[in-house]
Structure 1
Amino acid sequence: MRATVGVVVTGFDQGDLVREAVGSVLRQTRAPDQVVVVDDGSTDVRSLAVLDVLAADGGVQVLRQENAGVSAARNAGLSALGTDLAVVLDGDDRLAETFVERTAALLEEDADVVGASSWLRMHGVAHAIVRPAGGAAVDFLHRNASPATVMLRRDRWRAAGGYDERMRDGFEDWDFFLALLAAGGRIEIVPEPLIEYRTSPTSANVRSMDRRLELYGRLVDRHRPLFEEHLRAVLLAQEAASIARLDAWEQLVLDHPEVPLDDATYGDGGMAAVVRVATARAEAATPPARAVVPVPQD
């Protein structure tokens, strides 16, 4: 059975970027049945003008609220929809034309899929492809495994309690995914960059990294039963990430022999890495032994 699909675009003082986000929604190869824009208390003149144009257009419903944070804006938009499935999209990002088609198909084909997203294409101050892996609850305990832009089953969003509107400092999407997946199922990822993710040094995502340990600690406290149930898997996944980063550092230092080896971390494999690098450098600096050619005897 073909599901109905809605899209929620949230924004706050983002001017023409919201218009671009909505434009990307309206160009989808599978047209959404409903589009809602939730403005989270914008005050700048350009943003208000863009909202007026969108509201007058007729194909988009515009909701305005006092500034309450992105979680409250997402919940308001999702509540306003009457569809089976829903995409949440930040107002400074854009969707590739096949995002709705590809993600909706995953949810329609497999009842165990409770959410679907895709890889991201970063633009703005940084340009890269980001490849989140998705998965079940255990896969989200050591790191967030899905973009905030995601298609959801609205009944599962409601059953999970929605986005926590008290979380206004970051990680609200990660927190929601843990609540969503605690009841089972998985988030599937389309292995193509169908999200155009805008990067800026002042973005909320970048700012939240300054408080990453604190915010992650909150997630552990809020979802303690889930972390305790999968403690071994969480610790092994964290160690695997640490090993991968140390391997990347080791290769970088090997490629740049001018970097001094006068400091080493302890207890995480750092000393062994320095020994390997120093050994490789010494071997590279030692000229190969010259072969001794015997002198023929008369």
Structure 2
Amino acid sequence: MPIISVIIPCYNQDQYLDECLQSVSDQTYTDWECIIVDDGSLDHTEDVVKKWIEKDSRFQYLKKINEGVSSARNLGIEKASGEWILPLDGDDKIGSKYLELASKEFQNNVDIIYSIGEYFGEKSGIFASEPFDYPSFLMENQIFCSAFFKKSDWKKIGGYDTAMKGGYEDWEFWIHLSADKNQLKVKHLNEICFFYRIKPESRNVDAMQKNDASLRDYIYHKHPEVFYKNLNSLKEYYHENQKLKRENQHLKNLVNSKRNVLMNRILNFFGK
């Protein structure tokens, strides 16, 4: 049986799927299986996947009615043989050494392994580059969906919440996992191994803009014990953040003041 199961839920993403599956095929670590879960796509997803199955038996294909990404991930993980799970959305991709680098951490008593991420498509830039910090994580998700975790942990907490259809289902999953453990052990790889495609219709971007408040309220009400337990740390985080904002504003004002002085000097000099 493979050590790692890559789970790829997809819905109408046939134009991106080849690139995603190629990134899995290119892995330097070879002890993996890849389960593509077609969440009721109306495009040519099945035709795209069929070519990969014929080329490499490590690729598998499941099709289901459309019920959302959480349901699709859960089905794929349920069928998975691997001890470690890596979700990967059908329009994203991973670096060729991601599985190899993560596998070196499997014996180090960790719960989650993730890396630095990079945007591509409609946006460029680096994200998730800072070391993991739990209070910061409770305020804003630091761990993207394509992080490694044990299938046994997924089973223990009941999988992804299928009620979360507007986004943040990965954040809720990590919070739920942390609630089940005395201390969440997270390994952040100092390498760019995950590439997140930004499209005009990107699901998570839309969720951030439209559903942020309601999704957060859902998570807070579902896991109040996590936030109560860490209330003092969250207060400290908040006050430190406010302090940094004030200091940042002071620096901005100082820079603007100096800029105005310099501009006046230039105008006075050339105005003579």
Aligned to 1:229: 229
Question: What amino acid sits opposite 1:144 in the alignment?
Answer: N
Q: How does 1:219-298 map to 2 (within 5 A)?
A: 219-244=219-244, 254=252, 280=258, 283-284=261-262
Question: What amino acid sits opposite 1:49 in the alignment?
Answer: D
Secondary structure, aligned partner of 1:82: coil
C-alpha distance in 2 between matches for 1:13 and 1:248: 44
- Are the counterparts in 2 of residues 4 and 84 from structure 1 also a CA contact under 8 Å? yes
C-alpha distance in 2 between matches for 1:202 and 1:243: 36
Aligned to 2:169: 172
Aligned to 1:155: 152
Identical pairs, percent: 25
- Are the counterparts in 2 of residues 136 and 185 from structure 1 also a CA contact under 8 Å? no
Listed one character per residue, the Cα deviations across residues 207-258 of structure 1 (whole Å, up to 9, x for unaligned) are 011221221122111110110111121233234445545666666xx4xxxx
2:218 paired with 1:218: yes
2:47 paired with 1:49: yes
Structure whose CA Rg is larger: 1
Listed one character per residue, the Cα deviations across residues 249-287 of structure 1 (whole Å, up to 9, x for unaligned) are 666xx4xxxxxxxxxxxxxxxxxxx6x567556655665
Q: How does 1:62-81 map to 2 (within 5 A)?
A: 62-81=61-80
C-alpha distance in 1 between matches for 2:26 and 2:4: 14
Listed one character per residue, the Cα deviations across residues 175-200 of structure 1 (whole Å, up to 9, x for unaligned) are 00001112132221111111111111
Aligned to 1:120: 117
Question: What amino acid sits opposite 1:122 in the alignment?
Answer: Y
The change in CA–CA distance for 1:250 and 1:37 in structure 2 (over 3 A counts) is farther
Q: How does 1:3-42 map to 2 (within 5 A)?
A: 4-42=3-41
The change in CA–CA distance for 1:284 and 1:177 in structure 2 (over 3 A counts) is same
Higher relative contact order (CA 8 A, sep 6+): 2
- Are the counterparts in 1 of residues 32 and 58 from structure 2 also a CA contact under 8 Å? no
The change in CA–CA distance for 1:19 and 1:224 in structure 2 (over 3 A counts) is same
Secondary structure, aligned partner of 1:228: helix
Aligned to 1:271: none
C-alpha distance in 2 between matches for 1:242 and 1:125: 31
- Are the counterparts in 2 of residues 10 and 37 from structure 1 also a CA contact under 8 Å? yes
- 1:49 offset after TM fit, Å? 1.8
C-alpha distance in 2 between matches for 1:29 and 1:102: 10
- Are the counterparts in 1 of residues 38 and 45 from structure 2 also a CA contact under 8 Å? no
C-alpha distance in 2 between matches for 1:7 and 1:43: 23
Unpaired runs of 5+ residues, structure 1, are: 255-273, 288-298
**TM-score when normalising by structure 2:** 0.86
- Are the counterparts in 1 of residues 128 and 142 from structure 2 also a CA contact under 8 Å? no
Query: What is the number of equivalent residue pairs in this alignment?
Result: 261
- Are the counterparts in 1 of residues 135 and 237 from structure 2 also a CA contact under 8 Å? no
Question: What amino acid sits opposite 1:228 in the alignment?
Answer: Y
C-alpha distance in 1 between matches for 2:169 and 2:129: 17
- After TM superposition, which residue ranges in structure 1, 4 or more long, deviate above 6 angstroms? none
C-alpha distance in 2 between matches for 1:11 and 1:86: 16
Question: What amino acid sits opposite 1:154 in the alignment?
Answer: K
**TM-score when normalising by structure 1:** 0.79
After TM superposition, the structure 1 stretch with the greater mean CA deviation from structure 2, 276-285 or 9-18, is 276-285
Secondary structure, aligned partner of 1:180: helix
The change in CA–CA distance for 1:140 and 1:106 in structure 2 (over 3 A counts) is same
- 1:9 offset after TM fit, Å? 1.3
C-alpha distance in 2 between matches for 1:132 and 1:221: 29
Unpaired runs of 5+ residues, structure 2, are: 266-272
